[in-house]
Amino acid sequence: MKKNTLISIVVTIGLIIASSIWYGRNNGLLPVAAGDEALLYDGLFNTILAIAFGFFLVVEGVLIYSIVKFRRRDGDNDDGPAIHENLSLEIAWTAIPTVIVMWVAIYSFDVYTAMQGTQDLSGMAHGGMHQTVAHVERGAKATLASANTDGMLMAGTLPAGTGDVVAIDVSAMQFAWIFNYPNEISTAELHVPVGKKVRLNMTAVDVLHAFWVPQLRIKQDVIPGRSTYLEFTPRVVGEYPVVCAELCGSYHGGMRTTMVIDTPEDYATWLKEQQEIASNDPEQIVAYHSTSEMSEQEYLAGKMTQLDHDRHMSH
Protein backbone atom coordinates (compact mmCIF):
# COMPACT_ATOMS: atom_id res chain seq x y z
CA MET A 1 0.00 0.00 0.00
CA LYS A 2 1.37 3.38 -1.00
CA LYS A 3 2.22 5.88 1.72
CA ASN A 4 -0.15 8.51 0.30
CA THR A 5 -2.99 5.98 0.21
CA LEU A 6 -2.36 5.00 3.83
CA ILE A 7 -2.34 8.65 4.89
CA SER A 8 -5.62 9.25 3.05
CA ILE A 9 -7.26 6.27 4.79
CA VAL A 10 -6.07 7.40 8.24
CA VAL A 11 -7.25 10.98 7.62
CA THR A 12 -10.64 9.75 6.36
CA ILE A 13 -11.14 7.51 9.39
CA GLY A 14 -10.17 10.38 11.68
CA LEU A 15 -12.66 12.73 9.99
CA ILE A 16 -15.43 10.12 10.27
CA ILE A 17 -14.75 9.59 13.98
CA ALA A 18 -14.57 13.34 14.66
CA SER A 19 -17.78 14.00 12.70
CA SER A 20 -19.59 11.20 14.51
CA ILE A 21 -18.56 12.44 17.95
CA TRP A 22 -19.52 16.02 17.08
CA TYR A 23 -22.94 15.00 15.75
CA GLY A 24 -23.57 12.75 18.73
CA ARG A 25 -22.99 15.67 21.09
CA ASN A 26 -24.73 18.35 19.02
CA ASN A 27 -27.71 16.59 17.43
CA GLY A 28 -30.31 18.70 19.25
CA LEU A 29 -32.92 15.93 19.02
CA LEU A 30 -33.81 15.77 22.72
CA PRO A 31 -35.53 18.34 24.97
CA VAL A 32 -33.78 19.86 27.97
CA ALA A 33 -32.39 17.33 30.45
CA ALA A 34 -34.13 18.28 33.71
CA GLY A 35 -32.78 15.50 35.96
CA ASP A 36 -29.82 13.29 36.72
CA GLU A 37 -31.47 10.32 35.02
CA ALA A 38 -31.94 12.36 31.86
CA LEU A 39 -28.19 12.92 31.67
CA LEU A 40 -27.61 9.16 31.86
CA TYR A 41 -30.14 8.55 29.10
CA ASP A 42 -28.72 11.32 26.93
CA GLY A 43 -25.23 9.88 27.22
CA LEU A 44 -26.50 6.52 25.96
CA PHE A 45 -28.64 8.07 23.23
CA ASN A 46 -25.86 10.33 21.96
CA THR A 47 -23.37 7.44 21.95
CA ILE A 48 -25.65 5.18 19.91
CA LEU A 49 -26.44 8.06 17.55
CA ALA A 50 -22.75 8.80 17.08
CA ILE A 51 -22.05 5.14 16.24
CA ALA A 52 -24.99 5.02 13.81
CA PHE A 53 -23.87 8.27 12.17
CA GLY A 54 -20.34 6.89 11.77
CA PHE A 55 -21.65 3.76 10.05
CA PHE A 56 -23.85 5.95 7.85
CA LEU A 57 -20.83 7.97 6.73
CA VAL A 58 -18.81 4.79 6.03
CA VAL A 59 -21.57 3.06 4.06
CA GLU A 60 -22.58 6.12 2.05
CA GLY A 61 -18.93 7.09 1.51
CA VAL A 62 -18.06 3.65 0.11
CA LEU A 63 -21.20 3.71 -2.02
CA ILE A 64 -20.42 7.11 -3.54
CA TYR A 65 -16.76 6.20 -4.02
CA SER A 66 -17.75 2.96 -5.78
CA ILE A 67 -20.20 4.75 -8.07
CA VAL A 68 -17.49 7.16 -9.16
CA LYS A 69 -14.46 4.84 -9.17
CA PHE A 70 -16.03 1.77 -10.77
CA ARG A 71 -18.50 3.39 -13.11
CA ARG A 72 -18.82 1.97 -16.60
CA ARG A 73 -16.48 3.63 -19.07
CA ASP A 74 -17.28 4.34 -22.70
CA GLY A 75 -16.60 1.31 -24.86
CA ASP A 76 -16.38 -1.08 -21.92
CA ASN A 77 -18.92 -3.82 -22.63
CA ASP A 78 -17.27 -6.64 -20.69
CA ASP A 79 -18.64 -8.23 -17.52
CA GLY A 80 -17.14 -7.21 -14.22
CA PRO A 81 -14.53 -9.44 -12.56
CA ALA A 82 -15.93 -12.50 -10.78
CA ILE A 83 -14.90 -12.04 -7.15
CA HIS A 84 -15.74 -14.83 -4.69
CA GLU A 85 -15.30 -14.73 -0.92
CA ASN A 86 -13.03 -12.60 1.19
CA LEU A 87 -12.55 -14.24 4.56
CA SER A 88 -10.84 -11.22 6.15
CA LEU A 89 -13.62 -8.87 5.06
CA GLU A 90 -16.35 -11.24 6.25
CA ILE A 91 -14.70 -11.65 9.66
CA ALA A 92 -14.30 -7.89 9.98
CA TRP A 93 -17.88 -6.94 9.09
CA THR A 94 -19.19 -9.65 11.45
CA ALA A 95 -16.87 -9.14 14.41
CA ILE A 96 -16.94 -5.32 14.55
CA PRO A 97 -20.76 -4.96 14.72
CA THR A 98 -20.95 -7.86 17.18
CA VAL A 99 -18.52 -6.19 19.57
CA ILE A 100 -20.30 -2.85 19.24
CA VAL A 101 -23.75 -4.36 19.84
CA MET A 102 -22.55 -6.27 22.91
CA TRP A 103 -20.93 -3.14 24.32
CA VAL A 104 -24.08 -1.07 23.70
CA ALA A 105 -26.19 -3.81 25.37
CA ILE A 106 -24.03 -3.71 28.52
CA TYR A 107 -24.02 0.09 28.53
CA SER A 108 -27.82 0.15 28.08
CA PHE A 109 -28.37 -2.28 30.94
CA ASP A 110 -26.17 -0.18 33.24
CA VAL A 111 -28.19 2.94 32.39
CA TYR A 112 -31.49 1.10 32.81
CA THR A 113 -30.43 -0.22 36.21
CA ALA A 114 -29.28 3.23 37.33
CA MET A 115 -32.56 4.82 36.23
CA GLN A 116 -35.21 2.32 37.34
CA GLY A 117 -34.04 -1.25 36.97
CA THR A 118 -33.80 -1.87 40.73
CA GLN A 119 -37.56 -2.01 41.23
CA ASP A 120 -38.79 -5.07 43.08
CA LEU A 121 -41.05 -6.53 40.41
CA SER A 122 -41.99 -9.49 42.59
CA GLY A 123 -43.14 -7.07 45.26
CA MET A 124 -45.32 -5.34 42.70
CA ALA A 125 -47.26 -8.53 42.12
CA HIS A 126 -48.03 -9.16 45.78
CA GLY A 127 -47.95 -5.70 47.34
CA GLY A 128 -50.32 -3.33 45.64
CA MET A 129 -53.74 -3.01 47.14
CA HIS A 130 -53.02 -5.46 49.98
CA GLN A 131 -50.41 -3.11 51.36
CA THR A 132 -52.79 -0.18 51.04
CA VAL A 133 -55.58 -1.99 52.88
CA ALA A 134 -53.17 -2.97 55.65
CA HIS A 135 -52.20 0.65 56.16
CA VAL A 136 -55.84 1.67 56.36
CA GLU A 137 -56.66 -1.03 58.87
CA ARG A 138 -53.84 0.21 61.11
CA GLY A 139 -55.30 3.67 60.93
CA ALA A 140 -52.14 5.10 59.34
CA LYS A 141 -52.09 8.03 56.98
CA ALA A 142 -51.26 5.81 54.04
CA THR A 143 -51.92 5.90 50.35
CA LEU A 144 -55.58 5.51 49.58
CA ALA A 145 -57.30 6.01 46.27
CA SER A 146 -60.64 4.45 45.48
CA ALA A 147 -63.65 5.21 43.35
CA ASN A 148 -66.93 5.49 45.21
CA THR A 149 -70.35 4.61 43.89
CA ASP A 150 -70.99 8.19 42.75
CA GLY A 151 -68.02 8.13 40.36
CA MET A 152 -65.87 10.34 42.61
CA LEU A 153 -62.20 9.74 43.47
CA MET A 154 -61.11 10.38 47.04
CA ALA A 155 -57.40 10.65 47.70
CA GLY A 156 -55.66 10.17 51.02
CA THR A 157 -52.09 11.00 52.02
CA LEU A 158 -48.65 9.44 51.92
CA PRO A 159 -46.01 9.38 54.64
CA ALA A 160 -43.09 11.69 54.01
CA GLY A 161 -39.90 10.25 52.58
CA THR A 162 -37.03 9.33 54.81
CA GLY A 163 -33.81 11.32 54.83
CA ASP A 164 -33.33 13.30 51.66
CA VAL A 165 -36.02 11.44 49.71
CA VAL A 166 -39.27 13.27 49.00
CA ALA A 167 -42.08 10.69 48.77
CA ILE A 168 -45.26 11.55 46.89
CA ASP A 169 -48.28 9.36 46.31
CA VAL A 170 -49.62 9.39 42.75
CA SER A 171 -53.11 8.19 41.85
CA ALA A 172 -54.01 7.79 38.19
CA MET A 173 -57.58 7.76 36.96
CA GLN A 174 -59.53 8.42 33.81
CA PHE A 175 -58.42 11.06 33.00
CA ALA A 176 -56.40 12.87 35.67
CA TRP A 177 -53.31 12.66 37.87
CA ILE A 178 -53.69 13.23 41.62
CA PHE A 179 -50.64 13.90 43.80
CA ASN A 180 -50.87 13.31 47.55
CA TYR A 181 -48.39 14.90 49.95
CA PRO A 182 -48.12 14.63 53.75
CA ASN A 183 -50.41 16.72 55.98
CA GLU A 184 -53.53 16.10 53.91
CA ILE A 185 -52.24 17.90 50.80
CA SER A 186 -53.71 16.70 47.51
CA THR A 187 -53.15 18.51 44.23
CA ALA A 188 -53.58 18.02 40.51
CA GLU A 189 -50.14 19.54 39.81
CA LEU A 190 -46.83 17.93 40.79
CA HIS A 191 -44.31 20.09 42.66
CA VAL A 192 -40.84 18.80 43.54
CA PRO A 193 -37.73 20.48 45.03
CA VAL A 194 -34.63 20.79 42.88
CA GLY A 195 -31.64 18.69 43.91
CA LYS A 196 -33.53 16.20 46.12
CA LYS A 197 -34.35 12.62 45.19
CA VAL A 198 -38.06 12.18 44.57
CA ARG A 199 -39.94 8.90 44.89
CA LEU A 200 -43.36 8.60 43.28
CA ASN A 201 -45.46 5.74 44.68
CA MET A 202 -48.10 5.09 42.06
CA THR A 203 -51.38 3.24 41.81
CA ALA A 204 -54.16 3.27 39.22
CA VAL A 205 -57.82 3.41 40.17
CA ASP A 206 -59.33 2.06 36.98
CA VAL A 207 -57.23 1.08 33.96
CA LEU A 208 -53.59 0.95 32.91
CA HIS A 209 -51.87 4.34 32.70
CA ALA A 210 -48.24 5.42 32.23
CA PHE A 211 -46.49 8.35 33.93
CA TRP A 212 -44.12 10.07 31.49
CA VAL A 213 -42.09 13.29 31.67
CA PRO A 214 -40.06 13.71 28.45
CA GLN A 215 -37.59 16.12 30.08
CA LEU A 216 -36.74 13.46 32.68
CA ARG A 217 -36.52 10.65 30.08
CA ILE A 218 -38.47 8.35 32.40
CA LYS A 219 -41.73 6.46 32.03
CA GLN A 220 -43.43 4.06 34.40
CA ASP A 221 -46.61 2.04 33.97
CA VAL A 222 -49.28 2.69 36.61
CA ILE A 223 -51.19 -0.57 37.07
CA PRO A 224 -54.53 -1.25 38.78
CA GLY A 225 -54.10 -3.49 41.82
CA ARG A 226 -50.32 -3.07 41.92
CA SER A 227 -47.90 -0.55 43.38
CA THR A 228 -45.19 0.80 41.12
CA TYR A 229 -42.73 3.55 41.82
CA LEU A 230 -40.38 5.92 40.08
CA GLU A 231 -37.31 7.67 41.50
CA PHE A 232 -35.52 10.65 40.02
CA THR A 233 -33.47 13.68 41.04
CA PRO A 234 -34.61 16.96 39.41
CA ARG A 235 -31.88 19.45 38.52
CA VAL A 236 -33.33 22.22 36.34
CA VAL A 237 -35.92 24.60 37.77
CA GLY A 238 -38.92 25.02 35.50
CA GLU A 239 -42.29 23.64 34.40
CA TYR A 240 -42.52 20.40 32.44
CA PRO A 241 -45.44 18.38 31.03
CA VAL A 242 -46.64 15.18 32.64
CA VAL A 243 -48.18 12.92 30.02
CA CYS A 244 -50.07 9.64 30.13
CA ALA A 245 -48.16 7.46 27.67
CA GLU A 246 -50.60 4.52 27.69
CA LEU A 247 -53.88 4.56 25.79
CA CYS A 248 -56.39 4.68 28.65
CA GLY A 249 -59.68 5.65 27.10
CA SER A 250 -61.60 8.16 25.00
CA TYR A 251 -59.93 11.24 26.50
CA HIS A 252 -56.44 9.77 26.81
CA GLY A 253 -54.94 12.72 24.91
CA GLY A 254 -56.23 15.12 27.54
CA MET A 255 -54.68 13.32 30.52
CA ARG A 256 -51.92 15.84 31.04
CA THR A 257 -50.71 18.02 33.87
CA THR A 258 -47.57 19.92 34.88
CA MET A 259 -44.54 19.06 36.97
CA VAL A 260 -42.98 22.12 38.58
CA ILE A 261 -39.37 21.86 39.74
CA ASP A 262 -39.06 24.51 42.47
CA THR A 263 -36.14 25.95 44.33
CA PRO A 264 -36.06 24.72 47.96
CA GLU A 265 -37.43 28.06 49.10
CA ASP A 266 -40.26 28.10 46.58
CA TYR A 267 -41.10 24.48 47.35
CA ALA A 268 -41.33 25.20 51.09
CA THR A 269 -43.53 28.22 50.37
CA TRP A 270 -45.79 26.17 48.11
CA LEU A 271 -46.15 23.43 50.73
CA LYS A 272 -47.05 26.01 53.35
CA GLU A 273 -49.68 27.53 51.09
CA GLN A 274 -51.20 24.12 50.38
CA GLN A 275 -51.24 23.28 54.08
CA GLU A 276 -53.07 26.52 54.83
CA ILE A 277 -55.61 25.75 52.14
CA ALA A 278 -56.15 22.25 53.54
CA SER A 279 -56.37 23.48 57.14
CA ASN A 280 -59.25 25.83 56.28
CA ASP A 281 -61.48 22.77 55.99
CA PRO A 282 -59.85 19.78 57.74
CA GLU A 283 -62.89 17.58 57.05
CA GLN A 284 -62.68 18.08 53.32
CA ILE A 285 -61.16 15.29 51.21
CA VAL A 286 -60.02 16.32 47.78
CA ALA A 287 -62.45 14.80 45.28
CA TYR A 288 -62.35 14.71 41.53
CA HIS A 289 -65.36 13.99 39.36
CA SER A 290 -64.77 11.19 36.93
CA THR A 291 -64.71 12.52 33.39
CA SER A 292 -66.74 9.49 32.38
CA GLU A 293 -69.76 11.40 33.72
CA MET A 294 -69.10 14.24 31.29
CA SER A 295 -70.31 14.38 27.75
CA GLU A 296 -67.75 14.71 24.99
CA GLN A 297 -68.85 18.28 24.34
CA GLU A 298 -68.47 19.23 28.03
CA TYR A 299 -65.02 17.66 28.26
CA LEU A 300 -63.72 19.27 25.09
CA ALA A 301 -65.23 22.63 26.06
CA GLY A 302 -63.27 22.54 29.31
CA LYS A 303 -60.08 21.68 27.46
CA MET A 304 -60.60 24.54 25.00
CA THR A 305 -61.08 26.97 27.89
CA GLN A 306 -57.84 25.75 29.47
CA LEU A 307 -55.97 26.05 26.14
CA ASP A 308 -57.26 29.60 25.62
CA HIS A 309 -56.16 30.54 29.14
CA ASP A 310 -52.68 29.03 28.61
CA ARG A 311 -52.32 30.78 25.26
CA HIS A 312 -53.31 34.10 26.81
CA MET A 313 -50.84 33.66 29.68
CA SER A 314 -48.02 32.81 27.26
CA HIS A 315 -48.52 36.09 25.42
Encode pLDDT of 51-74 as tens digits: 999 999 999 999 999 999 888 888
pLDDT at 15: 94
Which amino acid appears at position 200 of this protein? L
Give the residue-averaged pLDDT of 104-120: 80
pLDDT at 302: 54
* Residue 59 main-chain phi, psi, to 5 deg: -65, -50
Q: Please provide the distance, in angstroms rounded to a whole number, between the alpha carbons at the two ends of the chain.
A: 66
pLDDT at 79: 82
- 17 half-sphere exposure, CB direction, 13 A CA radius: 6
Q: Which residue has the higher pLDDT, 200 or 291?
A: 200
pLDDT grade, residue 277 (50/70/90)?
confident
Q: What is the mean pLDDT of the chain?
A: 78
pLDDT grade, residue 185 (50/70/90)?
confident
pLDDT at 282: 53
* Residue 88 main-chain phi, psi, to 5 deg: -60, -45
Count of C-beta atoms within a 10 Å radius of residue 164: 10
Give the residue-averaged pLDDT of 217-235: 92
pLDDT at 70: 85
* Three-class HEC string of the chain: CCHHHHHHHHHHHHHHHHHHHHHHHCCCCCCCCCEHHHHHHHHHHHHHHHHHHHHHHHHHHHHHHHHHHCCCCCCCCCCCCCCCCCHHHHHHHHHHHHHHHHHHHHHHHHHHHHHHHCCCHHHHHHCHHHHHHHHHHCCCCCCCEEECCCCEEEECCCCCCCCCCEEEEEEEECCEEEEEECCCEEECCEEEECCCCEEEEEEECCCCEEEEEHHHCEEEEECECCCEEEEECECCCEEEEEEECCCCCCCHHHCEEEEEEECHHHHHHHHHHHHHHHHCCCCCCCEEECHHHCCHHHHHHHHHHHHHHHHHHHC
pLDDT grade, residue 83 (50/70/90)?
confident
Give the residue-averaged pLDDT of 203-227: 93
pLDDT grade, residue 106 (50/70/90)?
very high
pLDDT grade, residue 14 (50/70/90)?
very high
- For residue 118, pLDDT over 50 is answered with no
Instruction: Tell me if the bond preceding 175 is cis, omega within 30° of 0.
Output: yes
Q: How far is CA 45 from CA 58, 103, 131, 263, in A?
A: 20, 14, 37, 29
Which amino acid appears at position 131 of this protein? Q
pLDDT at 308: 56
Q: Which residue has the higher pLDDT, 114 or 296?
A: 114
pLDDT in tens, 119-158: 544 443 333 333 333 332 332 233 333 333 232 333 333 3
d(CA 249, CA 132): 26
Q: Which residue has the higher pLDDT, 63 or 8?
A: 63
- Burial tier of 105 (Cβ tally within 10 Å: 0-12, 13-18, 19+): exposed
Which amino acid appears at position 258 of this protein? T
pLDDT at 312: 60
